[in-house]
Amino acid sequence: MKRTRFLEPLSHDHHHGLQAAAHLRRELARHTPHEYLASYVADLWNDHLAQHFHDEEHLLLPLMATTPMRELGQRMVDEHRSIRELVDRIVADSPSREESLAQLPDVLSAHIRFEERELFPALESGVPEATLREVGDRLRLERPGG
């Protein structure tokens, strides 16, 4: 589905997230040491996911607060929290690191599919274009290199 240009930076992030999930799956299948994977996950969080989640929660969530999209917004936040918890367990070398590493690719991919297939189309059909344009402008201004 063609995405409105104002949400394209977030969709681009999603593409990167799907690539990261595929990379993790491949490396897990190769039995790559968990220390390497934990470092990869920490970099993924610091370089991509943290900013992406921040942008969505600060720019998109307010658009859904008083509309029928409230449940979609809550699901987005809940899934962000779940992903962050997996990342934290992986990076902290918790007793559940191995289980969390196995879960992260599927949880991340499912979250991205939800946003691309449900959340973003709801925003595109339910939020005025001028408001989405403001979101796109803020993304360009507030992101490093934007």
Domain extents in the chain: 8-142
Assigned superfamily of 8-142: nmb1532 protein domain like (1.20.120.520)
pLDDT in single tens digits along all 146 residues of the chain: 566 889 999 999 999 999 999 999 999 999 999 999 999 999 999 999 999 999 999 999 999 987 789 999 999 999 999 999 999 999 999 999 999 999 999 999 999 999 999 999 999 999 999 999 999 999 988 776 65
List, for residues 71-83, the tens digit of each pLDDT value.
Answer: 999 999 999 999 9
Residues 6+ apart with CB under 8 A from 94: 88, 100
pLDDT value of residue 109: 98
DSSP state, 143? S
Residue 56 and residue 10 in contact, taking contact as beta carbons nearer than 8 Å: yes
pLDDT for position 145: 62
Task: Please give the pLDDT value at position 107.
Answer: 98
Evaluate whether 27 touches 37 at the Cβ level (below 8 Å). yes
Residue-level pLDDT at 67:
75
Residue 143, pLDDT score = 74
Q: What is the pLDDT of residue 31?
A: 97
pLDDT in the model for residue 146? 55
